Amino acid sequence: MHDWPAIVSARLAVLGLDAAREEEIRAELAGHLEDEYAAALQRGRSEQEAVACALARVPDWVDLARTIHQADKKEGLMSPDTKTLWLPGMAALCCAGAAILVTTRLPPSLWGNPRASLPMAALSIGCYVAVGALGSSWSRRAGGSTRARFAAGLFPLVLHLAIIVPAIIVSILNEGRTNFHRGELFASVLVPGVALAIGTLPFLRSRA
């Protein structure tokens, strides 16, 4: 039985990695080599051949170091919050904005027609479910926490609040109304928020 963590550590020691990063890579790489070694033994290879098969998984340790440094450099250019919240959230926000823009270009008769209003509302809700799923799934792929995934999926509500809050303020200042129409709040904030939240649900659990 080979001590793969020690073997990997001996080779990583000359690559100039920081201790925390080296430990992380050592644990993962040693596991892969151990799996390859065991698989080779099961295929009927001798112990020496199995060791050679495992080590062949990393033919060039210098190239591995270069790849790791490049990956770390790219990771360093982007903070975790940017990858797991801001980028997926902004993508979802742009998609929601595009959906709103398309909606404003539709003939008013579609919304005024009782036969078409229900399908149009269902289409709008479906779009927001998809947008919420987009933001949440992107965040999960980037390694976001459950909170980050949920926030990324709900991010388009920022656009709605940016529209509805000034309208409330103008209504209060011009008309003295302290109670904005409940229907407008329902249609502009609550319904999109619920649809976005539904879209995030499949992506809030961690991957198996």
Instruction: Express each pLDDT in 2-41 by its tens digit.
Output: 677 787 777 777 666 666 666 777 777 778 788 888 888 8
pLDDT digits (tens, 9 = 90+) for 86-143: 999 999 999 988 888 887 777 766 666 667 667 777 888 899 999 999 999 999 888 8
φ, ψ of residue 130 to 5 degrees: the values are: -65, -40
Whether the predicted model's global pTM rises above the 0.85 cut: no
CA 83, CA 96: separation in Å to the nearest integer?
Answer: 19
pLDDT digits (tens, 9 = 90+) for 169-180: 777 677 655 555
Amino acid identity of residue 137, one-letter, is: S
Amino acid identity of residue 61, one-letter, is: W
Asked if residue 75 has pLDDT above 60, the reply is no
